[in-house]
């Protein structure tokens, strides 16, 4: 299971980061790091933008600010919690090989849970669109 940028883009991103780190002075390195971060963010926007764009649009609309903020928090937690779990596991002595074996053993479960989550989100979004169009009523009267 692999979720990553295509090899060509990944090599380009890695090259950009390496070049930004090979600057002689601290101030140049900070500027180069910032610019490398901007470039990498734009390259990865194709992955994250499809989630961030609707959330940002929701934040700009007063009627959806609460929902959009909650969505942003949930989205950020979905990225941070697995990183914290991996960090704590590593800190407690789990090696990368052990972590890889664990993930390989549970790939089917992870994919099933992810699929169920996406189905639930799809049903929720479909219901929300139909409710906004007046085709269905609220679930709680």
CB 55 within 8 A of CB 72: yes
Residue 114 inside a domain? The answer is: yes
Residue 115 inside a domain? The answer is: yes
Residue 110 inside a domain? The answer is: yes
Residue 132 inside a domain? The answer is: yes
Domain range for residue 126?
106-141
Each of the 141 residues of the chain gets a pLDDT tens digit; together they read 556 778 887 888 788 777 777 767 778 778 877 887 888 788 777 777 777 777 777 778 787 788 788 888 887 888 788 889 888 988 898 888 898 898 889 999 988 988 898 898 788 878 888 888 889 988 776
pTM for the model stands at 0.50
Residue 121 inside a domain? The answer is: yes
Q: 112-132 as b/e, with b when 16 or more CB fall inside 10 Å?
A: eeeeeeeeeeeeeeeeeeeee
Pairwise CA distance, residues 21 & 29, whole Å: 6
Residue 138 inside a domain? The answer is: yes
Number of domains in the chain: 1
Residue 123 inside a domain? The answer is: yes
């Amino acid at each position: 299971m692999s979720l990553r940028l295509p090899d060509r883009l990944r090599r380009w991103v890695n090259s950009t980061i390496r070049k930004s780190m090979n600057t002689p002075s601290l101030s140049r390195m900070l500027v180069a790091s910032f610019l490398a971060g901007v470039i990498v963010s734009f390259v990865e926007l194709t992955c994250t933008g499809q989630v961030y764009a609707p959330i940002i649009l929701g934040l700009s609309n007063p009627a959806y600010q609460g929902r959009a903020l909650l969505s942003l928090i949930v989205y950020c937690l979905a990225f941070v919690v697995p990183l914290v779990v991996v960090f704590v596991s590593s800190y407690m002595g789990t090696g990368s090989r052990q972590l890889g074996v664990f993930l390989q053993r549970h790939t089917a479960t992870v994919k099933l849970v992810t699929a169920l989550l996406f189905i639930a989100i799809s049903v929720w979004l479909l219901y929300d669109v139909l409710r906004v169009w007046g085709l269905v009523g609220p679930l709680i009267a």
